[in-house]
Chains A and B, each alone.
Chain A
Amino acid sequence: MRHNAIRCFLALLGAVLTIAAAPARAEMPAWEQQLYDAAKKEKQFTVYTAHYDTETIADLCMAFDKRYPGVKCNFVRTTAQVAYQRFQQDLQAKLAVASVFSSTDVSHYPDLKKRGLLMQYQPHNLAKMVDSLKQYNDKDNYYWVTASALVVIAYNNSLVSEKDAPKKWTDLLDPKWKDKVSIGHPAFSGYVGTWVVLMRKLYGWDYFEKLEKNKPQIGRSINDTVTMLNAKERWVAAGPEATTLLSRDKGNPLSVIYPSDGTLLMVSPTGIPKNAPAPNAAKLFVEFMLDKEAAEVQVKNHQLSVIKGIKPAPGAKPLEEIKVMRPTEEEITKGIPEVKEKFRDTFGI
């Protein structure tokens, strides 16, 4: 790289005016340059992720490749349990494939940490993180929140007017929604599992006894609710904000409500496996995930930004204006296996 004062100034100016538009970039801080140089020797790395849909992770990898030419970002996008199973398979086979492990099931991480399978690292960009999310990082720096999303009430606006739509979670128990509610299954989806834990915390198990009277349609993934609403098979749902709004962006007749009794906040951590074949590239990727470009890609795809100072996508409510709630880590880890069993007893599957 050539160091030239004028070029440097122009590059800075360019970076200020438009992000990633100018080929010559702002000077990297020394630590970043160091990681980048080391990562270039590793050439490529693989992310196991359950955080996003395929398009979003493809966008993120593309943005990474553009910012760090010479380090190729590969990804395997699956559901959380499959990602975990694959990671275990790799370990058993003594194959080091994943350099970054991103699951949505928070109980995976304490387990991996306890078994000494994660690498300790303190990301420099951790300081940029939204303060309220910092509590969900591992205190020993084995994993960090890199994605965050909301579980909301979604409805088909060609069938339900905004006035009639449910405003809070207990509205879903109203008999007028009999045969019209759609939810996922806690045994298949970490989002649904956490949502069930939150509902139990707020209203007791009684909530689900009553919900069963409305005969909700139970899918697997929380995203199945989007399909059911679009098909007009069901009218209202406890659904994911991101997927619902992505489908709405295409023109589907969907809307979301942020429940007044508490929108569920989902946080999803990322860790670096101890046996990562490309540890430097992995660290660089984690830093990248905690930086502006990645946040903007995520926001564009209706995930929440985990770092400060990023505007929400058009149509989404800014996080400050939403009453968010989240059970504690312990409530989740302990609660999910319990509610899975109770859920099966109540709903019969």
Chain B
Amino acid sequence: MGEGIAGRAAAGTPVAPAAAPSAFGQRWRHLDKSSWVWLLAIAVLLFLVVNPLFRLLLASVQEQDTGAFTLANYAAAYSRSRYVDALVHSLVLGTSSALLCLAFGLPLAWAVSRTDMPGKGLIWISILGTFVIPPYLGAVGWMLLAGPNAGWLNRFAIELTGMQKGPFNIYSMPGLVLVTACYSFPYVFVFTKSALDLVSSEMEDAANILGCGNFKATLSITLPLVLPAILAALILVFLEAIALFGSPALLALPGRFHVVTTQLWQFFEFPPKVGVAAAYAMPLLAITVFLFWLQRRITHRKGYVALTGKGGERRPIKLGGWKWPLLGYCLAVCTLSFFMPMVVICQAALAKAWGRGFRLDNLTFDNLYFTLFENTLTRNATINTFVYAGSAALIAIALALCIAYIVNRQLVGKKLGNVLSFLTMAPFVIPGIVLAIGFYAAYTRPPLLLYGSAWILILAFATRFLPIAYANSNAAIRSINPELEDAVRILGGTRFTAIRRVVAPLLKRSLAGAFILVFIPGTRELSSAIFLSSINTQVLSVLLFDKSDEGNFEMLAAIGVILVLITVVFILIGFRLMGRDFMLRRTAA
């Protein structure tokens, strides 16, 4: 599908050999040498995204054994109302979680970025902690909090009001939406916050001078300025919600409904129907295309340039008495997503037998000690997890930045630009299981034999989270006025000089944010890792998931706690090393 277009375009860009040698020589001299980097980026994109996607498309129209062309897979994938229902459930889940994420993430981002609300550090750390919790671990925590019969919240409610049955049921669509939103809203928070950090107070001042109150200025000036970031985050959250496997498997099945991913899983039952699974995944791709089109429609031809290089001051808005209700709201969100589930999980991690509940004689550190020091499997998996996630984040960001720059500065044609940005975003919507199969099909045969090595995991993670890196880089680059670079070019600098001396320093902070945004999901990525990891390349998320179907809840919680703790510590050390107080510094980079 995309390969043809991108492939042709790659060949058709300026370096393609021209007919006459002299003409070629002339073009060579005038060629901006930086083209090589762009071409390389496009080639990598072909390798990481187009090839696996192409294999997937191919699988959807092939008979499994013979390879003959067929549409039977599509017929099989949509033949039952059950299968179609699952698609509808996924759409409901995606839309509702995206809206809930907005309700959670936006006020928090604004509060932390632009106001003088107290306790910002605490809120920031809790959101970081939330983001680090793998969604299925959070789901397990919530099962214990809001299980209809014995959930802590229900027991508390019964105790308090004397009602017959507790009001909460996590095994339902609202329950699944809540859990999904809890572990996705950090995307909205981080995207919006990093965009808000760049908006100068002068714009709000101008509104104030013209007689506009703080509230109105925020709504009509500040928020519209960060609209691209919000939209990008919403799309990511929507796509993540419909591609999620762990939480639906834990919550939707007992709630007696299917979503796309749990349905997909059944196509992999024996005998696995890869073709049907591929066909079933196609609407997800169509949805991605549609969302992109929508995003373009909304942000088309409006200026979102906030970073002009002309100075600008950023002052916190004084909230007065309003700061307490706002803090209360922030804390409430963090309680739902972080504090309550973590209490439950820590209880299990520190228990000899968690079914016995809180008791001093039930307390032990053995689970944690065993996981970290005695079990070589978990120890190696811990190291692998962080090495892979880190490498994947670096690769994804380098690539995303290149593509975002190419597209925004229109270094290639507009059409090709659109194709590139679609391709960069496409991996996110492919459920990890399916992406893994695509990767598998593409890179397990010569000349690119990657299976069994760490590279296949690193590249799969990088591909899977490329959209996050891209959405972030794109929003960041959009906010930089091209005049800044033009000034360098006019003064005789090359494009690379412009990028190195002007763009990169301005982007440093966004990039640090982007790194974390890819690194964290990398540490908790499950669905693609299940199929691609092998004995020497185990990662914690897979071990964690294994434990969940081994019924060994104490160990599951212990691994979860270790994953969360180490990730948070790593990130904090990272900020220290970068020499910046990432959380609270308010001036632009």
Chain A residues in contact with chain B, CB under 8 A? 46, 53-55, 58, 74-79, 81-82, 84-86, 88-90, 92-95, 97, 105, 107-108, 111, 156, 158, 179-180, 185, 187-188, 217-221, 223-227, 229-234, 240, 243-244, 246-247, 250-254, 340, 344, 347-349
Contact of B451 among A89, A225, A234, A252 (CB under 8 A): A89
Q: Is the CB of A348 within 8 A of B256?
A: yes
Interface set, chain B 528-568, CB cutoff 8 A to A = 530-531, 534-535, 543, 546-554
In the complex, the 6 A-B pairs of residues with the closest C-beta atoms, listed nearest first:
A93-B444, A251-B353, A223-B551, A226-B551, A230-B355, A221-B549
Cβ distance B274 to chain A, nearest Cβ, rounded Å = 9
Cβ distance A54 to chain B, nearest Cβ, rounded Å = 6
**Cα distance A121–B201 in the bound complex, in angstroms:** 78
Q: Is the CB of A229 within 8 A of B355?
A: yes
Chain B 346-390 against A: per-residue CB contact (8 Å), 1 yes, 0 no? Answer: 000000111110000010000000000001010000000000000
B270 within 8 A of A: yes
Contacts of B253 in A (CB 8 A): 185, 218-220, 349
**Cα distance A349–B423 in the bound complex, in angstroms:** 34
Contact of B256 among A247, A340, A349 (CB under 8 A): A349
**Cα distance A234–B147 in the bound complex, in angstroms:** 10
With contact pairs A85-B272, A227-B553 given, residues A247 and B257 touching in the complex (Cβ less than 8 Å): no
Contact of A81 among B269, B353, B550 (CB under 8 A): B269
**Cα distance A250–B553 in the bound complex, in angstroms:** 11
**Cα distance A179–B150 in the bound complex, in angstroms:** 11
Q: Is the CB of A53 within 8 A of B354?
A: no
Chain B 249-292 against A: per-residue CB contact (8 Å), 1 yes, 0 no? Answer: 10011101110000001101111100000000000000000000
With contact pairs A89-B531, A230-B553, A232-B149 given, residues A54 and B268 touching in the complex (Cβ less than 8 Å): no
**Cα distance A75–B546 in the bound complex, in angstroms:** 14
Q: Is the CB of B451 within 8 A of A220?
A: no
Sort chain B's interface into a size bin. Answer: 35 or more
Q: Is the CB of A234 within 8 A of B149?
A: yes
Cβ distance A144 to chain B, nearest Cβ, rounded Å = 20
**Cα distance A86–B17 in the bound complex, in angstroms:** 44
With contact pairs A232-B150, A247-B355 given, residues A97 and B549 touching in the complex (Cβ less than 8 Å): no
Q: Is the CB of A247 within 8 A of B551?
A: yes
B82 within 8 A of A: yes
With contact pairs A105-B270, A223-B551, A231-B144 given, residues A348 and B149 touching in the complex (Cβ less than 8 Å): no
Contact of A233 among B149, B256, B257, B534 (CB under 8 A): B149
Chain B 497-525 against A: per-residue CB contact (8 Å), 1 yes, 0 no? Answer: 00000000000000000000000000000
**Cα distance A90–B531 in the bound complex, in angstroms:** 11
A187 nearest in chain B by CB position:
B266
A52 nearest in chain B by CB position:
B550
B8 within 8 A of A: no
Contacts of A227 in B (CB 8 A): 548, 551, 553
Contacts of B534 in A (CB 8 A): 76, 97
Contacts of B148 in A (CB 8 A): 179, 233
Most chain B Cβ neighbours within 10 Å, of A46, A58, A158, A349: A349
Interface set, chain B 464-511, CB cutoff 8 A to A = none
B127 within 8 A of A: no
With contact pairs A82-B531, A231-B147 given, residues A156 and B355 touching in the complex (Cβ less than 8 Å): yes
Q: Is the CB of B355 within 8 A of A253?
A: yes
B82 nearest in chain A by CB position:
A344
Q: Is the CB of A81 within 8 A of B270?
A: yes
Q: Is the CB of B149 within 8 A of A349?
A: no
**Cα distance A55–B375 in the bound complex, in angstroms:** 10
**Cα distance A230–B140 in the bound complex, in angstroms:** 13
A46 nearest in chain B by CB position:
B535
Contacts of A92 in B (CB 8 A): 440-441, 444-445
**Cα distance A155–B443 in the bound complex, in angstroms:** 47
- A sample of 14 cross-chain residue pairs with beta-carbon separation below 8 angstroms, ordered by A number, consists of A53-B552, A54-B377, A95-B452, A97-B534, A156-B355, A185-B253, A188-B265, A218-B253, A223-B549, A232-B149, A243-B551, A246-B551, A251-B362, A253-B355
Most chain B Cβ neighbours within 10 Å, of A90, A107, A231: A231
Q: Is the CB of A187 within 8 A of B256?
A: no
**Cα distance A76–B531 in the bound complex, in angstroms:** 11
| 10 more CB-based (< 8 A) A-B contacts, given A75-B535, A232-B355, A253-B353 | A74-B535, A81-B268, A81-B272, A217-B254, A220-B549, A223-B550, A224-B551, A229-B355, A252-B354, A347-B256
Contacts of A240 in B (CB 8 A): 551
Contacts of A107 in B (CB 8 A): 270
Interface set, chain B 145-170, CB cutoff 8 A to A = 147-151
Q: Is the CB of B269 within 8 A of A233?
A: no
B462 within 8 A of A: no
**Cα distance A226–B377 in the bound complex, in angstroms:** 24
Contacts of A84 in B (CB 8 A): 270, 272
Contacts of B252 in A (CB 8 A): 349
Q: Is the CB of A243 within 8 A of B550?
A: yes
Q: Is the CB of B272 within 8 A of A95?
A: no
Q: Is the CB of A253 within 8 A of B256?
A: no
Contacts of B452 in A (CB 8 A): 95, 97
**Cα distance A179–B254 in the bound complex, in angstroms:** 12
B143 within 8 A of A: yes
Cβ distance B46 to chain A, nearest Cβ, rounded Å = 21
Most chain B Cβ neighbours within 10 Å, of A53, A229, A253: A53
A74 nearest in chain B by CB position:
B535
B449 within 8 A of A: yes
Cβ distance B127 to chain A, nearest Cβ, rounded Å = 27
Most chain B Cβ neighbours within 10 Å, of A58, A77, A108, A246: A77
Most chain B Cβ neighbours within 10 Å, of A81, A85, A89, A253: A85
Cβ distance A278 to chain B, nearest Cβ, rounded Å = 13
Q: Is the CB of B451 within 8 A of A218?
A: no
**Cα distance A156–B354 in the bound complex, in angstroms:** 13
Cβ distance B548 to chain A, nearest Cβ, rounded Å = 8
Q: Is the CB of A93 within 8 A of B530?
A: no
Q: Is the CB of A54 within 8 A of B550?
A: yes
Cβ distance B418 to chain A, nearest Cβ, rounded Å = 34
Q: Is the CB of A349 within 8 A of B257?
A: yes
**Cα distance A233–B534 in the bound complex, in angstroms:** 35
Contact of A78 among B149, B362, B440, B546 (CB under 8 A): B546
Q: Is the CB of B550 within 8 A of A95?
A: no
Most chain A Cβ neighbours within 10 Å, of B144, B377, B531, B550: B550
Contacts of B354 in A (CB 8 A): 230, 252
Q: Is the CB of A77 within 8 A of B546?
A: yes
A58 nearest in chain B by CB position:
B377
**Cα distance A89–B456 in the bound complex, in angstroms:** 14
Q: Is the CB of A231 within 8 A of B270?
A: no
**Cα distance A187–B548 in the bound complex, in angstroms:** 17
Q: Is the CB of A76 within 8 A of B150?
A: no
Contacts of B266 in A (CB 8 A): 187
Contacts of B445 in A (CB 8 A): 92-94
Most chain A Cβ neighbours within 10 Å, of B272, B440, B551: B551
Q: Is the CB of B353 within 8 A of A252?
A: yes
**Cα distance A111–B269 in the bound complex, in angstroms:** 14
With contact pairs A82-B530, A251-B352, A254-B355 given, residues A53 and B550 touching in the complex (Cβ less than 8 Å): yes
With contact pairs A46-B535, A233-B150, A243-B551 given, residues A218 and B254 touching in the complex (Cβ less than 8 Å): yes
Contacts of B144 in A (CB 8 A): 231
With contact pairs A54-B377, A232-B150, A233-B147 given, residues A252 and B356 touching in the complex (Cβ less than 8 Å): yes
With contact pairs A93-B449, A251-B356, A344-B82 given, residues A233 and B270 touching in the complex (Cβ less than 8 Å): no
Cβ distance B367 to chain A, nearest Cβ, rounded Å = 10
**Cα distance A111–B265 in the bound complex, in angstroms:** 21
A76 nearest in chain B by CB position:
B535
Contacts of B451 in A (CB 8 A): 89-90, 93, 95
Q: Is the CB of A348 within 8 A of B150?
A: no
**Cα distance A231–B551 in the bound complex, in angstroms:** 11
Contacts of A75 in B (CB 8 A): 535
**Cα distance A95–B534 in the bound complex, in angstroms:** 12
Contacts of B531 in A (CB 8 A): 82, 85-86, 89
Cβ distance A34 to chain B, nearest Cβ, rounded Å = 27
